């Protein structure tokens, strides 16, 4: 009997480990293929898009594209400003979006940290974008560009795994810029609100540590990338609306303690306000409304609806940068 229990316990342990590995691989494939699907959707729908939403996860987790007619949400989780600038240049190549009038960029207090100036993962994806390697030149690592392109070229099958998943396969056959909205519904259904978490302070601290990654809170490379984004809008005659996305007070407090809100405000003044762009600062909009968040810094559907309404109003008075 004791031997049976040992074997049964080992069997359950292996089953659990296998399930965890499968879940991790599935989520990785979902994130990876979502980027490829975004490109496919943009290629098909760009001609009709009037508002392009860019940035990291705070872009697509703060704005509901279904409530913003003519919008295309072209953001990816963890995407730093260096790659946002490269993607924007790629998206605007050869007048690919003739109807485009507005660009909405999501930022946060961690946007200029050194951790956001380093080469990021998914090289296979970014290596396919024009000027993507150029953003690595400021990292101080001479071999970064070579490694970036090598990994991008030796994994030609990356981005093709979506056929394994029916939802992704369906989205590939008929791409649309509601892709992020479909995924947000999936996440909303699978996660309880942040208010249900027991140790919210610990969760907020861990998220802040993850986003700053122990690095210096400010680095010149992301600041220069913001200037490139602004200049791209100037060259194309596009308005630029910058959203400081809502986060919980617990998260902001932890982030501010490891950063410098005054320096952040100074950068926004120099790179945006001085050029006629007043950021839409909503970071404290739902500061203690933990029921509107699924984690310390990402909104659920109700919160996204309110932010989207405010973005729509801001677009009516948006200006082309000077």
Q: Give 169-216 pLDDT, tens digit per residue.
A: 334 334 444 445 555 555 555 567 888 887 899 989 988 888 876 556
pLDDT of residue 156: 43
- Give the span between the Cα atoms of 131 and 138, in whole angstroms: 13
Question: Which has more pLDDT, 6 or 117?
Answer: 6
Every domain of the chain and the residues it spans: 37-113+167-316
Dihedrals φ, ψ of 154, to 5°? -85, 0
Most confident of the following: 134-138, 153-157, 243-247: 243-247
pLDDT tens for 60-116 read: 899 998 899 999 999 888 788 888 888 898 888 877 899 999 999 999 998 988 766
Pairing of strands 102-107, 51-54: parallel
Across residues 110-126, what is the average pLDDT?
65
CATH number of the structural domain 37-113+167-316: 3.40.50.1110
Residue 9 confidence class, pLDDT cut points 50, 70, 90: confident
Q: What is the overall mean pLDDT for the chain?
A: 77
Residue 43 confidence class, pLDDT cut points 50, 70, 90: confident
Look at residues 96, 56, 60, 97 and name the one whose alpha carbon lies nearest to residue 79: 56
At 26 the three-state DSSP class reads helix
Among 200-209, 278-287, 301-310, name the one with the lowest average pLDDT. 200-209
Question: Which has more pLDDT, 214 or 41?
Answer: 41
For the residues of 184-200, what is the DSSP string, one character each? HHHHHHHS--GGG-S-H
Rounded to two decimals, the pTM is 0.77
pLDDT reading at 286 higher than 90? yes
Across residues 146-165, what is the average pLDDT?
46
User: Which contiguous run of DSSP H or E holds residue 128?
Assistant: none
pLDDT reading at 33 higher than 70? no
Residue 36 confidence class, pLDDT cut points 50, 70, 90: low
pLDDT of residue 282: 97
pLDDT of residue 228: 93
CB-based contacts of 304-310 (< 8 A; 24+ apart in sequence): 304/61, 304/62, 304/63, 304/64, 304/184, 305/64, 305/67, 307/62, 307/63, 307/243, 307/245, 307/246, 307/282, 308/63, 308/64, 308/67, 308/68, 309/67, 310/280, 310/282
Number of neighbouring beta carbons within 10 Å of residue 316? 7
* Residue 1 buriedness (CB in 10 A; 0-12 / 13-18 / 19+): exposed
pLDDT of residue 63: 94
pLDDT reading at 119 higher than 90? no
Q: CA angle, corner 27, sides to 22 and 30, nearest 5?
A: 125
pLDDT reading at 59 higher than 70? yes
pLDDT of residue 149: 55
Dihedrals φ, ψ of 134, to 5°? -60, -30
């Amino acid at each position: 009997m004791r031997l049976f229990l040992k074997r049964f316990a080992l069997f359950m342990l292996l089953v659990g480990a296998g399930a965890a590995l499968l879940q991790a691989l599935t989520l990785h494939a979902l994130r990876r293929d979502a980027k490829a699907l975004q490109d496919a959707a943009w290629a098909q729908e760009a001609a009709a898009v009037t508002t392009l939403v860019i940035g990291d996860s705070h872009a697509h987790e703060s704005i509901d594209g279904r409530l913003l007619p003519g919008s295309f949400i072209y953001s990816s989780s963890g995407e730093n400003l260096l790659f946002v600038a490269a993607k924007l240049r790629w998206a605007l190549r050869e007048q690919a979006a003739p109807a485009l009038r507005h660009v909405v960029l999501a930022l946060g207090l961690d946007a200029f940290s050194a951790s956001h100036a380093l080469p990021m993962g998914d090289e296979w994806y970014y290596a396919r974008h024009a000027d993507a390697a150029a953003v690595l030149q400021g990292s101080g690592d001479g071999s970064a560009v070579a490694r970036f392109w090598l990994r991008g070229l030796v994994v030609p099958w990356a981005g093709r795994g979506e056929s394994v998943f029916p939802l992704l396969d369906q989205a590939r056959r008929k791409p649309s810029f509601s892709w992020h909205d479909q995924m947000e519904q999936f996440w909303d259904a699978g996660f309880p609100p942040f208010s249900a978490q027991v140790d919210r302070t610990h969760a907020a601290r861990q998220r802040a540590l993850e986003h700053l990654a122990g690095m210096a809170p400010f680095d010149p490379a992301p600041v220069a990338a913001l200037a490139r984004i602004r200049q791209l809008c100037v060259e194309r005659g596009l308005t630029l609306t910058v959203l400081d996305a809502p986060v919980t007070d617990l998260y902001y407090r932890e982030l501010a303690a490891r950063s410098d809100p005054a320096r952040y405000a100074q950068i926004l003044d120099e790179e945006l306000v001085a050029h006629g762009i007043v950021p839409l600062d909503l970071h404290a909009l739902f500061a203690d409304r933990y029921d509107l968040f699924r984690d310390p810094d990402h909104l659920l559907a109700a919160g996204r609806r309110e932010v989207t309404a405010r973005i729509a109003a801001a677009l009516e008075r948006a200006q082309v940068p000077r």
